[in-house]
Amino acid sequence: MHYWKTAATLGAAFLVRLALAPFFGHSWDIYVWIRSGEMFTKGTDVYTVKSLTDFPWGFYTYPPLWLYWLGFANSLSSQFNNLNLYILMIKLPVLIADLVVAVLITKIAAEMNLLHI
């Protein structure tokens, strides 16, 4: 019985985040992610780009796997030409990872008898 309540709560929370994700985010992060995806698909090494900022660490400071996702999202963005959908697609792995972490924490809490629903 508790399983369904927990699953429903996590599912509802995920859907709310999914609905709101395209409309919220730090403008600089969104800019960097979109611009990095564009540069990556054009073959630019984003780790060497310094002219876009005065930051000593450079323009792009995320790991390569995230860059591959940004490139993939950029490649697909031309198919639907919708900025909000593009931003949602960029954020999708983060939203899924957040859900997975919530499920794992819930399982650990249940195993330790800390889950009181």
Chain centroid offset of residue 72 CA? 13
Q: Is residue 12 part of a domain?
A: yes
Per the structure, the complete domain to which residue 11 belongs is given by 2-111
Cα 84 to Cα 19, 36, 77, 99, distances in angstroms: 10, 17, 10, 21
Nearest one of 89, 83, 52, 55 to 71, comparing CA atoms: 89
- pLDDT tens digits along 29-84: 898 899 999 999 999 988 887 766 666 666 778 899 999 999 999 999 989 889 99
Residue 16 has a pLDDT of 97
Q: Is residue 116 part of a domain?
A: no
Q: Is residue 14 part of a domain?
A: yes
Q: In the structure encoding, which two tokens stand for residue 17, read together? A: 């985040």
Q: In the structure encoding, which two tokens stand for residue 39, read together? A: 């540069």
State the pTM of this model.
0.83
Q: Is residue 7 part of a domain?
A: yes
First to last CA, the chain: 10
